[in-house]
């Protein structure tokens, strides 16, 4: 609106002093503005174009009102997708700098960011054994259910085999067959292992006893073994190396 002389504050235009011609020409002077509110019927119809209507400022409520015609004339529609992608990418860069979980995902749709815990700045992740079950759960190696326990922890070539189980009574070897002996060449732990070369009927024999009477019950034989050779019919079981 092309008003060139308007005092600040609320004023009204006297209906008999302001004409449409004066409004169009910007010829309304200060003396023609009186108190009270300006009503729509005080402005001559058709004398003020929509493009000449300025914004309305309300200082008390801190608002600015733009007429629809003015907004339409000066605002051009645009695609905000690139802007939203830039915002998402910026958030990802921020996540990277703060060592967050998101990384290098600028082409993906991001819903929200949450902090991960327990991550270091290195390329590996430190884990606490307290949070995971060990592959082997240690237990007592010698208890009341152990009927025979032979330690091979002696000198190379020894043929002495001692039962150190918790069974009662302990068992004494009846016979050491063929070339069965202790060997320091191969062992899992300790000083030696029991060596059986596969020639003849090798092994260790114990006298008959009620402890061997498993019947149809369950039993286990626990040991580590290291095959140094295998026949072809057993290759699928033991492997070839």
DSSP code string of 83-126? HHHHHHHHHHHHHHHTT-S--S-TTS--------SS--SSSS--
Q: What is the reported pTM?
A: 0.39
Residue with tokens 């921020």: 94
Among left, alpha and beta (phi > 0; psi -120 to 50; other), residue 193 is beta
Q: pLDDT tens-digit profile of 172-208? A: 888 998 889 999 998 888 899 999 887 878 889 988 8
Give the residue from 171, 165, 195 showing the smallest Cα distance to 183. Answer: 195
Give the residue from 94, 2, 77, 113 showing the smallest Cα distance to 47. Answer: 2
Q: pLDDT tens-digit profile of 9-55? A: 444 444 445 566 666 666 655 555 544 444 455 554 444 554 455 66
Q: Is the pLDDT of residue 158 over 90?
A: yes
As beta bridge partners, residue 176 has: 204
């Amino acid at each position: 609106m092309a008003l060139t002389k308007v005092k600040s504050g609320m004023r009204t235009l006297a209906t008999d002093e302001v004409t449409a011609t004066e409004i169009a020409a910007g010829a309304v002077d200060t003396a023609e503005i009186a108190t009270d509110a300006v009503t729509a019927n005080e402005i001559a119809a058709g004398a003020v174009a929509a493009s000449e209507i300025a914004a309305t400022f309300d200082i008390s409520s801190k608002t600015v009102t733009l007429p629809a015609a003015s907004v339409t004339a000066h605002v051009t529609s645009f695609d905000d997708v690139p802007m939203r992608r830039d915002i998402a990418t910026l958030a990802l860069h921020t996540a990277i700098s703060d060592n967050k979980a998101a990384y290098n995902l600028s082409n993906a749709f991001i819903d929200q960011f949450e902090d991960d815990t327990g991550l270091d700045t290195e390329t590996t992740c430190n884990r606490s054994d307290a949070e995971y079950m060990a592959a082997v759960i240690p237990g007592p190696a010698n208890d009341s259910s152990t009927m025979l326990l032979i330690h091979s922890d002696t000198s190379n070539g020894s043929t002495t085999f001692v039962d150190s189980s918790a069974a009662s009574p302990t068992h004494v070897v009846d016979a050491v067959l063929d070339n069965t002996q202790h060997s320091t060449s191969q062992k899992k732990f300790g000083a030696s292992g029991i060596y059986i070369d596969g020639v003849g009927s090798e092994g260790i024999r114990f006298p008959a006893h009620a402890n061997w009477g498993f019947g149809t019950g369950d039993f286990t034989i626990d040991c580590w073994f290291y095959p140094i050779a295998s026949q072809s019919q057993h290759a699928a079981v033991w492997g070839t190396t």
